[in-house]
Amino acid sequence: MTLAAATELATATNEHLANVSNTLIYSAMAVYTLAFFAHIAEWLFGSRSKVGRTAAALTADVAGKSASGPPVTVRKAGGTAVLERPAVVVRSGFRDVPDGPGAHGGTEKGDLYGRIAIALTVLAFALEAGGVLARALSVKRAPWGNMYEFNITFTTVAVGVYLVLLALKKNIRWLGLPLATTVLLDLGLAVTVLYTASDQLVPALHSYWLYIHVSTAIFCGAVFYVGAVGTILYLFKDNFENKLASGGTPGRFASSVLDRLPAAASLDKFAYRVNAAVFPLWTFTIIAGAIWAGDAWGRYWGWDPKETWSFITWVAYACYLHARATAGWKGRKAAYLALVAFGCWLFNYYGVNIFVSGKHSYADVGLGVLQSAGF
């Protein structure tokens, strides 16, 4: 076989793997769509046994009760002072739900649809992971050279984080519906607007730091996303609980949906723990990027737009964690700050790569592409 024939065969093989990758990604989207409808069915069937529940049933024994136990006795030099225990507000009606909205709804049918949704999500994850792997093998490099590849890897990792938490027996099946929805939207954007043909990397990306820096950035973004979903759901659930505690009556739709989420305090704690756990890795991601910049461009920091927004994101999450740890910020104020931080990450993810020109402009996407796509 001549060298030209061997080169042509290698090129054909690469194109074949690229086409296999595309087929697997589209197949994953189809299965994610089925999982989306299965999650919808879980919530619908799980809600039918909840219609008769009233706000009074949820708010029984809530406000105005004193804590149980004897009075607090404080001994002084001149005598003994007796202090009554202060009245506390306990939202006893707002307990964490069991495994999934269908199970919490009290219907075996709703729970069955939820388990079908999980099985479909696992299948879609396997197909998408196969698509990412085939994309990498098609050019024999890490599949993170442009925004299309970043998107398909990011959504794969996000679903992987969700499935790992489920495997660890964490009660997060409530995350399934928003996850399937956003993954479908992200993949739809990837295959329509951001799609880039499989090709070799630009010279600046030929480094082992690509595997270190970009992989940690993708993982951190996936975990930040999970934390952001928990934060958004917390805000809805907290508003729902406050309305019940004040004697209000939420609408039937709000009651049937929000009542099957975990308690607001649990959602708040979940989001905080997720963000706090991944923050050190985000710090390492920025440091690794600076080291790579020193190797590639001869300087560690140059206030490139991607570097700047990575740092802004770091500062925003640092403020969130610092406010919770020192200022005692919990609840809605901290949640708003967490969403601002995730908004900074999103702009760094999409906005900087698409709309801003800099040394990190490897997205192969620009305003011209967006306009040609009808945006």
97-125 pLDDT per residue, tens: 555 565 554 555 567 888 899 999 999 99
Which positions of the chain have pLDDT values less than 70? 1-13, 46-110, 200-206, 253, 256, 327, 356-375
Contact 166, 118 (CB under 8 A): yes
Alpha-carbon distances, residue 271 vs 93, 158, 324 (angstroms): 22, 15, 12
- Helix (H/G/I), strand (E/B), else coil: 286: helix
Exposure on the CB side of residue 59, measured as CA atoms within 13 A: 16
Buried b (16+ CB within 10 A) or exposed e, 316-329: bbebbbebbeeeeb
Structure tokens at 362: 């490897």
Taking the C-alpha atoms of residue 46 and residue 109, their distance in angstroms, rounded to an integer, is 8
Buried b (16+ CB within 10 A) or exposed e, 87-100: eeeebebbeebbbb
Buried/exposed code over 213-249 (b: 16+ C-beta within 10 A; e: otherwise)? bbbbbbbbbbbbbbbbbbbbbbbebbebbebbbeeee
Query: In 3D, which of 226, 229, 217 has the Cα closest to residue 352?
Result: 217
The pLDDT of residue 278: 94
Grouping H, G, I as helix, E, B as strand and the rest as coil, residue 311 is helix
Chain-centroid distance of CA 346 in Å reads 11
The predicted pLDDT at position 337 comes to 93
- How many CB atoms within 10 Å of residue 302? 13
- Report how far apart, in Å, the C-alpha atoms of 224 and of each of 26, 28, 190, 199, 341 are: 26, 23, 20, 29, 9
CA distances from 29 to 161, 182, 208, 240, 332 (A): 18, 11, 31, 33, 34
Cβ 293 vs Cβ 213: under 8 Å:
no
pLDDT confidence of residue 289: 87
First to last CA, the chain: 48
User: What is the Cβ-side half-sphere exposure of residue 243, based on CA atoms within 13 angstroms?
Assistant: 16
- CA–CA separation, 314 vs 373, rounded Å? 33
How far is the C-alpha of 279 from the C-alpha of 271, rounded, in Å? 12
Strand extents, DSSP E, 18-117: 72-76, 79-83
pLDDT of residue 226: 93
Q: Which residues pair with 81 in a beta bridge?
A: 74
The token pair that represents 58 in the structure block: 């949820």
Nearest of 350, 31, 360, 127 to residue 221 by alpha carbon = 350
Pairing of strands 72-76, 79-83: antiparallel
155 and 186 in contact (C-beta within 8 Å)?
Answer: yes
Q: Does an H or E element contain 55, and which?
A: helix 55-58
Q: Where are the domains of the chain?
A: 3-372
**Radius of gyration for the alpha carbons in the chain, expressed in angstroms and rounded:** 25
What is the predicted pLDDT for the residue at 104? 52
The pLDDT score that the predictor gives to residue 262 is 84
pTM for this predicted structure? 0.77
Given this model, what pLDDT does residue 327 score? 67
Kindly state the tokens that stand for 11.
Answer: 């090129």
